[in-house]
């Protein structure tokens, strides 16, 4: 009985924290939209307009209202899930984001897969060979991954694989002559082109996504690899590992049949959190690769002083980030029996 109420209280507490987090997000993004140094009215209608037009636009934008009414308008816009109208595209911010977000999602997904495929094996190898040359070498490789700026890795990859070797495609999601060939269903170009059976477009899209995804994925691999190493090392200290070894199992059998299943939960949550980091990194990577995603949309909105688009984009990324945290927390609780007590 007491355990039951404790659980309910725990869940209520969690819900309250998540709620407060979102409220904080809304408040911060609202303030950011209001204190922008550029005058949003001038940004919308241009500098040389009559006072009358200026005042009318200002009224349309709701900027003549007291701040607290503006705040309620903003909360209403967030609750309607449209975040108001962008003054540069004249569409609701959510429509804009729905249009550009799949490109970012695709990039981050491919990036996280690359990150996990590189990071997890390297992390395991480093833990098994702890203290040897191999461990040191992997440490250096991973250190390069998170010490080098993601946009610089992108520039280097472009120079080497696009300009010099010519084995990858250049900036953008696909070559110009493929634009519009594939009908948009999911917005993820790789999946859409595969569904439509347009394998030429598919290959072209792979050629375009590989460089930005690798420059993102390398950074993710650094994080995933480091965490994997410490998870595996933690497990290797446990007694069941000694038992398995005494039983005569080979070191690799111990790792794959006993240690890895016990790290699986932690690895899943780590990869989920990494995905959030990649969404962030995508903002910078997109600038380098002219990738038409959320990052480009937001940087453009920032320079245009688009006072609805910037908070909208920030809120969406923030909300995804918070949700990923919550989801990985829940996954952890569901998958790991020890946390249920």
Partner 1 sequence: MTALTRFQRIRMGLPTSSREARFAQGWRVVQMLAASPAALAGLGIVAALLLLAAFAPVIAPHDPYVQNLANQLRPPSAENLFGTDEFGRDIFSRVIHGTRYTLYIVLLVAVVAAPAGLFIGASSGFLGGWVDTLFMRITDIALAFPRLILALAFVTAFGPGLNNAILAIALTGWPPYVRIARAEALMIRRSDCISAVELMGASRLRIILVHVIPLCMPSLLVRLTLDMAGVILIAAGLGFLGLGAQPPSAEWGVMLASGKEDLLSGWWVGTFPGIAIFLVCMGFNLLGDGLRDVLDPRQES
Contact with partner 1 (CB under 8 A) among 158, 189, 214, 221: 158
Contact with partner 1 (CB under 8 A) among 122, 201, 317, 328: 317
Q: Which of residues 109-138 bind partner 1 (CB under 8 A)?
A: none
Helix orientation angle between 189-196 and 199-236, rounded to the nearest 10 degrees: 130
How many chain residues bind partner 1 (CB under 8 A)? 54
What's the min distance (Å) between Cβ of 102 and partner 1? Answer: 18
What's the min distance (Å) between Cβ of 326 and partner 1? Answer: 9
DSSP character at residue 188: -
Q: Which of 164, 288, 265, 140 is nearest to 214 (CA)?
A: 288
46 near partner 1, rule: CB under 8 A: no
What's the min distance (Å) between Cβ of 217 and partner 1? Answer: 17
First to last CA, the chain: 14
Give the separation between CA 152 and CA 290, rounded to whole angstroms. Answer: 14
Quick note: the x/- pattern for partner 1 over 60-99, rule CB under 8 A, is ----------------------------------------
Closer residue to partner 1 in complex, CB, 20/98: 20
Give the separation between CA 138 and CA 159, rounded to whole angstroms. Answer: 25
Contact with partner 1 (CB under 8 A) among 98, 163, 184, 243: 163
Length of the chain: 341
Q: Which of 13, 145, 98, 62 is nearest to 312 (CA)?
A: 98
Alpha helices by DSSP H, 61-198: 67-79, 93-128, 133-147, 150-157, 189-196
Three-state secondary structure call for residue 204: helix
321 near partner 1, rule: CB under 8 A: yes
Closer residue to partner 1 in complex, CB, 123/189: 123
DSSP character at residue 174: S
The residues of the shown chain that bind partner 1, judged by CB under 8 A, are 17, 20-21, 24-25, 28-29, 31-33, 35-38, 139, 143-144, 146-152, 155-156, 158-159, 163, 226, 229-230, 276-277, 279-281, 283-284, 287-288, 298-299, 302-303, 305, 310-311, 314, 317-318, 321-322, 325
């Amino acid at each position: 009985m007491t355990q039951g109420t404790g659980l309910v209280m725990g869940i209520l507490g969690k819900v309250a924290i998540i709620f407060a987090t979102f409220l904080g997000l809304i408040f911060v993004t609202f303030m950011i939209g209001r204190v922008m140094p550029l005058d949003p009215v001038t940004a919308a209608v241009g500098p040389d307009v009559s006072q009358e037009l200026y005042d009318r636009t200002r009224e349309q934008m709701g900027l003549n209202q007291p701040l607290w009414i503006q705040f309620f308008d903003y909360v209403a816009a967030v609750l309607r899930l449209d975040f108001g109208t962008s003054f540069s595209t004249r569409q609701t911010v959510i429509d804009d984001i729905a249009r550009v977000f799949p490109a970012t999602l695709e990039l981050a997904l491919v990036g996280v897969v690359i990150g996990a495929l590189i990071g997890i094996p390297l992390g395991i190898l480093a833990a098994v060979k702890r203290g040897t040359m191999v461990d040191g070498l992997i440490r250096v490789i991973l250190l390069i991954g998170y010490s080098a700026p993601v946009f610089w890795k992108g520039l280097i990859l472009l120079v080497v694989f696009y300009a010099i070797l010519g084995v990858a495609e250049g900036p953008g999601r696909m070559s110009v002559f493929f634009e519009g060939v594939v009908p948009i269903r999911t917005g993820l170009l790789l999946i859409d082109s595969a569904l439509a059976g347009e394998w030429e477009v598919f290959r072209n899209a792979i050629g375009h996504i590989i460089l930005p995804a690798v420059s993102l994925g390398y950074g993710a691999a650094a994080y995933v690899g480091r965490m994997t190493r410490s998870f595996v090392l933690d497990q290797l200290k446990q007694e069941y590992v000694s038992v398995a070894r005494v039983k005569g199992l080979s070191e690799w059998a111990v790792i794959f049949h006993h240690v890895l299943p016990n790290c699986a939960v932690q690895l899943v949550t780590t990869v989920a959190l990494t995905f959030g980091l990649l969404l962030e990194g995508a903002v910078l990577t997109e600038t380098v690769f002219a990738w038409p995603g959320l990052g480009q949309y937001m940087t453009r909105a920032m320079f245009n002083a688009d006072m609805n688009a910037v908070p909208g984009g920030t809120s969406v990324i923030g909300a995804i980030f918070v949700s990923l945290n919550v989801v990985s927390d829940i996954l952890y609780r569901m998958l790991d029996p020890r946390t249920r007590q």
